[in-house]
Amino acid sequence: MKRAWAMVRSLERIRVLAGSIRDHQALRKAVLTEVGTMVPFDAFVWPLCDPRTTVGMAPRARIPCPQELPALIRLKYLSPPARWTGLIASSVPALSLQHATQGDPARSLLWRGVLNRYDVRDVLSVVFADQHGCWAWLDLWRTGEADDFTEEETTYLAELAAALTPGLRRSVARQFHAGTTPDVMVGLDLASRKGDSALPGAPSRQDMAPGPGRGRQGLPEQGVLTLSEDLAVVGRTESVNEWLHLLQPGPVPHHQVPAEVLNVGAQLLAREAGVDHHDAESRVHIGSGRWALLRANRIAPAAEGSTPPLAVTIQGCMPSDRLDIFARVFGLTQRQRELLWLAAAGADTGTMADTQGVTPYTVQDQFKQIFQACGVHSRAALMAMALGTGSRG
């Protein structure tokens, strides 16, 4: 009874954190500290997700195997047991590896390929999702002689998801404000295992002024990285180098390859293997209200029978991609989303009313609700925030 009461109090503290910390990096760090008092763990991986495709980005992590990051990500995506996309549809959004494999973790490609060599005994996974999309997933690892994760601990993590998901979504919404600074560069702190911290010497994502060869919002031209089947970089265009400085670097020795690149590549492999159907794409915040779109595809084979490499393209987000994620992060209803798209297309109030079969007054009332949700006071300011253009006043 005493432990059950302690877990209830812990969840109350997490709700307070979710309502008071606006930055997703700081929020995850504070929540991990609280979770560790209730559910001991030896290592963790906690990325955010593109809410539509569920592809990981902006990870926080502390693992014992940074040198195997490409293999770890590839096998995570290719392993069905306790995969975050399966937990979305489950009545309980948390599950341990031991439970998912009926006590035989060797049924997991991830465990066979990487985790067993680092004495990982069990992994407790939880997904953070709501009606607007999938926002993050978290894996807690136990190693050595530690006990398996218990049913009580699994229930605690499931309740954690319900308490924390709205706060995670709001922290992503904050990134649409033009004054938002680039995310803290957080890598994989594995030497001391005392916590996750910023990568020393990591390049900062400073604003890049418009200039020759730049596209929307002064961003670089489209860049391309080519990857082998094991997600090793085998080629790149010159224009991709600027993008790599805008994205979060991986840990040494993979610090020149953003984790977002490996994640979209791994999702393409998962699609091809029939493990998951989501697109191999992610929309990533790169600072000051700007977003990049990463997409993985296969290159045509150079010769019959050869395995073609993967191509990961990086470019500025198109307006349609921004509008979609904007509507999701601010929790807009379907009617409000339609109004957002109509406003972006330049429709006036009368046209919007006719399209939706309502009165102009109803349209105006809906916009007042949208303004309140997004923290703006006019349609011009709403479009500037959603599309990343002009003044946000």
DSSP 279-335: -SEEEEEEETTEEEEEEEEEPPPSSTT--PPEEEEEEEPPHHHHHHHHHHHTT--HH
Per the model's pLDDT, the better-predicted residue between 49 and 256 turns out to be: 49
**Contact status, residue 168 vs residue 135, Cβ threshold 8 Å:** yes
Domain ranges of the chain: 2-176, 216-320, 332-387
Q: What is the CATH number of domain 216-320?
A: 3.30.450
User: What is the per-residue pLDDT for 206?
Assistant: 38
Q: Give percent of the chain with pLDDT exceeding 70.
A: 87
Q: What is the mean pLDDT of residues 263-279?
A: 98
Q: Which residues contact 199 (CB under 8 A, 6 or more apart)?
A: 185, 186, 187, 249, 251, 252, 255
Q: Which of 35-39, 207-211, 348-352 has the lowest mean pLDDT?
A: 207-211
User: What is the per-residue pLDDT for 331?
Assistant: 96
Q: What is the mean pLDDT of residues 20-28?
A: 94
What are the pLDDT digits (tens) for 38-83? 999 999 999 999 999 999 999 999 999 999 999 999 999 999 999 9
Q: What is the CATH number of domain 2-176?
A: 3.30.450.40
**Upper half-sphere CA count for residue 310 (Cβ side, 13 Å):** 26
For residue 138, report the phi and psi dihedrals to the nearest 5 degrees.
Answer: -135, 130
What are the pLDDT digits (tens) for 119-173? 999 999 999 999 999 999 999 999 999 999 999 999 999 999 999 999 999 999 9
User: What residue has token string 């929540």?
Assistant: 31
Per the model's pLDDT, the better-predicted residue between 177 and 287 turns out to be: 287
Q: What is the mean pLDDT of residues 317-339?
A: 96
Same topology between domain 2-176 and domain 216-320 = yes
Spatial distance between the Cα atoms of 306 and 38, rounded to a whole number of angstroms: 50
Mean pLDDT of all residues belonging to the chain: 88
User: What is the per-residue pLDDT for 249?
Assistant: 80
CA 156 from centre of chain: 22
Fold of 332-387: Arc Repressor Mutant, subunit A (1.10.10)
User: What is the per-residue pLDDT for 217?
Assistant: 62
180 band by pLDDT with thresholds 50, 70 and 90? low
User: What is the per-residue pLDDT for 190?
Assistant: 38
391 band by pLDDT with thresholds 50, 70 and 90? low
User: What is the per-residue pLDDT for 251?
Assistant: 78
362 band by pLDDT with thresholds 50, 70 and 90? very high
Spatial distance between the Cα atoms of 87 and 82, rounded to a whole number of angstroms: 7
Q: Give percent of the chain with pLDDT exceeding 90.
A: 78
User: What is the per-residue pLDDT for 44?
Assistant: 98
What are the pLDDT digits (tens) for 210-221? 344 455 566 888
